[in-house]
Amino acid sequence: KNEVEQSPQNLTAQEGEFITINCSYSVGISALHWLQQHPGGGIVSLFMLSSGKKKHGRLIATINIQEKHSSLHITASHPRDSAVYICAVLVGSARQLTFGSGTQLTVLP
């Protein structure tokens, strides 16, 4: 069993829809990252969370430490949001990220 599980693996939405991507982890963590990767491209860090909720533009990330669960929400989705969204966790004082397998999001116009 992977330490970091993401769902769904693939998600297709219509422009304007509200989108939720989920991440569950099985270990104690010091922080959780949400990352975005466009096709053929590098990775952009969207959020790093240790607790609570963060918002940036149309993106909202929440984390529940007790339930070992995080969600990434996209409001008013747009085709340019189409990308792979990756959840990654920092375990304790570890220097390395443990990555989920990613969620491929496609937003249709």
Least separation in angstroms between residue 31's CB and another protein is 3
Judged by beta carbon, residue 42 or residue 109, the one nearer another protein is: 42
Q: How far apart are CA 89 and CA 101, in angstroms?
A: 12
Q: Measuring CA to CA, which residue among 59, 64, 50 is closest to residue 20?
A: 59
Residue 41 interacts with another protein (CB under 8 A): yes or no: yes
Residue 66 interacts with another protein (CB under 8 A): yes or no: no
Judged by beta carbon, residue 40 or residue 109, the one nearer another protein is: 40
Q: How far apart are CA 82 and CA 49, in angstroms?
A: 22
Torsion-angle region of 6 (φ positive above 0: left; ψ -120 to 50: alpha; else: beta): beta
Stretch that binds another protein, among 16-24, 33-41, 53-61, 65-73 (CB under 8 A): 33-41
Residue 42 interacts with another protein (CB under 8 A): yes or no: yes
Q: How far is CA 71 from CA 93, 94, 105, 109, in A?
A: 23, 23, 14, 24
Q: How far apart are CA 82 and CA 13, in angstroms?
A: 9
Selected binder of another protein within 11, 13, 31, 60 (CB under 8 A): 31
Residue 90 interacts with another protein (CB under 8 A): yes or no: yes
Positions that interact with another protein (CB under 8 A): 30-31, 33, 35, 40-45, 48, 50, 86, 88, 90, 93-97, 99-102
